[in-house]
Every structure is written in C-alpha cells, then in structure tokens.
Amino acid sequence: MTHHDDSGVWRVVVPNETGLVLYENLEDGIARITLNRPSAGNAQNVAMIYALNEAFMRAARDKAVRCIILCGAGRHFSTGHDLKDLAHDAVGRDYDLTSTWGDVQTGDVEGWLGWEHETYLDMCRRWRSIPKPVIAQVQGACIAGGLMLAWICDIIVAAEDALFQDPVVNIGVLGVEYFAHVWELGGRKAKELLFTSDSWDARQAREMGMVNHVVPAADLEMFVHDMARKIAAKPTLAIKLAKEAVNAALDMQGLQKSIDLAFAYHQLNHADNRLRFGGLLNPNGIPETVLRKGGLSELVIGDGRAESA
C-alpha cells in the first residue's frame, strides 16, 4: 500500500478507481458529498477514503460552501470497511500521507497501528473538525465503519429504514477505530450495542440521542436539503464558533482521550488475533457467506492456526 519515492516522501498506493465519491455544489451555499459504491453497499475501500478526504477538504476550503451534506448512493449509507481491500496490492493512483505517522508498512504491529491511524482515526478527527456544519443523510445500513462516518457529522437525519450496528466484537475487535459509542449512546446502551452486536433501527437511535430526526425514506433528501439551507443562511462565524464550542466541551469531558485508549485496545485485539489465528481478525466471526466468496487475504483472516479464541 505504500512506496518510497525519489524525494524521500512516503506515499499511499491505492487502486486507480474514479467516481467513488461524488461532489456537488448545490444552491444556497450547500455542498453535497456522496459515497458512490452502491453495488458494494458503499463499503469503504482505501480509494474511497482518500477520495472522501479530498471532497471534505474541497468543501472546507471553498468560502462559498456554508453547509455540507454527506450521503450514500443506493440502498445503504455505508456497510463499513471493505475487508477485501485491507491488503490490496494493486498499484495505481497514489496519495501523500495525511497524518504524521509516516512510514506505513502492514507487515508488523507498528505498521498496522500507523496505517489505521492514518486512514481511520486521523481522517475521522480531521473531518469532525471541519469548521462548517456537516449533516449525515442516512438510509439503509449504517454498519461499523459507516457509524464512524455518521458520528463525525454534526447532525444525523435518518430514514425510517435506517439500521445501525457495530458487530466487530464477532471478529475479535472491541469496536470500530473511532470509538465514540459512549458519547453517542451513553454507557449502558453502548455496552449493549457492542456486547450483543444487535442492530438498532432509526427510532431507537433517536431515542438514545444518536439521531436528530427520523423521516420517511421518500422525504429524506428534501428534509436534509431544507435543514442545510436553513443552517447555511446563518452567520458563518457564529456557526463556526458554535460548532467549535460544542466539540471543545465534548473533548474536555474526555471524548478524545477515551477514543485514544480504545484505539490502543483495538490494536491489542489485532495483535492477539495475529497470535491466535495469524491474521488481524478472528475468522470464526466472519459470516460463512463472506468466506465462501473469497478475496480475503491471509493478513485479514490468517492461516487458521487456531480453531477458536
């Protein structure tokens, strides 16, 4: 995934895919960013993550943009991270690393820590800190890595058919890399979500305070657009500082420190799975239908050296 060019700069090498993220300038100072892998449930591969970062940075730097909408094409918002892409050896377009973790190599614990810092944790923190309001427009599945994308947004509006889930305990990991569960759900409900791997519908998510509004699927786009238009009409500096103040209050309560601790535990889970199974994940928790399709590398599921954890 990385190479060292003649200038001494480490760069991320990702498959040469285009159109994975769509960017639109709507009227009234609204930018809409669309995850565009509907055939894969908008599962996030490496190319999509870097394309999403480019789109967010474009919106952040455009003075005409006053509010951002994040949505997903097709039936689902995002079904999470694309496991098949974790050890992709394809060459194609390359990107400068966006964080300070530098030399990313996936062959050891230190390298994987740096890789997940770069592509998951640091990306989410950067997007959360964009000084413009971001609204998540969620329909269908919002699973694991999909939760991370919704949680970095300031407002979440969900269709009645939306489902939220973080089932990664099943594959031997405590939760997703941007571990904001407690802050989004409260302690006891966060434990229930993680311990059971159950999915919760949009109304349940709203009752717990994670979702702002639930609307019929047919009305979702218009509802979000109307809200974005209303927000975009407000004084920009006041909105910017209101967002900064609320984020700062959450951070002073311990949000970022708790995410750091959980991220360290996340890496401990990966290291433990490597000792037990030879791969990053516990293969016993991966659905048989996924395993039968193939495409998961030994880096992900190991060599089967242990039958159970």
Residue 297 to residue 84: CA distance in whole angstroms: 7
Give the model confidence (pLDDT) of 8-65 as tens digits: 333 444 445 569 999 999 989 999 999 999 999 999 998 899 999 999 999 999 999 9
Q: What is residue 93's predicted lDDT score, i.e. its pLDDT?
A: 43
pLDDT band at residue 219, thresholds of 50, 70 and 90?
very high
Mean pLDDT computed over 220-236? 98
Q: Are 37 and 76 in contact (CB under 8 A)?
A: no
pLDDT band at residue 279, thresholds of 50, 70 and 90?
confident
Give the model confidence (pLDDT) of 107-154 as tens digits: 677 778 888 888 899 999 999 999 999 999 999 999 999 999 999 999
pLDDT band at residue 289, thresholds of 50, 70 and 90?
low
Measured CA to CA in angstroms, residue 73 lies from 140, 225, 282 at distances of 11, 16, 31
Of 200, 202, 230, 228, whose CA–CA distance to 215 is shortest?
Answer: 202
Residue 95: pLDDT above 80? Answer: no
Give the model confidence (pLDDT) of 166-204 as tens digits: 999 999 999 999 999 999 999 999 999 999 999 999 999
Residue 88: pLDDT above 80? Answer: no
Of 141, 143, 197, 191, whose CA–CA distance to 170 is shortest?
Answer: 197
Work out the mean pLDDT of the chain and round it to a whole number.
87
Q: What is residue 107's predicted lDDT score, i.e. its pLDDT?
A: 63
Question: So where are the chain's domains?
Answer: 2-219
Q: What is residue 109's predicted lDDT score, i.e. its pLDDT?
A: 78
Taking every pair of Cα atoms in the chain, the longest distance, rounded to a whole number of angstroms, is 59
Residue 229: pLDDT above 50? Answer: yes
Residue 4: pLDDT above 60? Answer: no
**Cα-Cα-Cα-Cα dihedral of 114, 105, 269, 44, to 10°?**
80
Q: What's the whole-model pTM score?
A: 0.88
Q: What is residue 245's predicted lDDT score, i.e. its pLDDT?
A: 99
Q: Burial, 99: exposed, middle or buried (Cβ in 10 Å; 0-12, 13-18, 19+)?
A: middle
Q: Burial, 60: exposed, middle or buried (Cβ in 10 Å; 0-12, 13-18, 19+)?
A: middle
Mean pLDDT computed over 152-167? 98
Q: What is residue 304's predicted lDDT score, i.e. its pLDDT?
A: 53
Residue 274: pLDDT above 70? Answer: yes
Q: What is residue 292's predicted lDDT score, i.e. its pLDDT?
A: 60
**In CATH, what class is 2-219?**
alpha beta
Residue 115 to residue 86: CA distance in whole angstroms: 10
Q: What is residue 303's predicted lDDT score, i.e. its pLDDT?
A: 60
Mean pLDDT computed over 240-264? 98
Q: How far is CA 256 from the centre of its chain?
A: 16
Residue 66: pLDDT above 70? Answer: yes
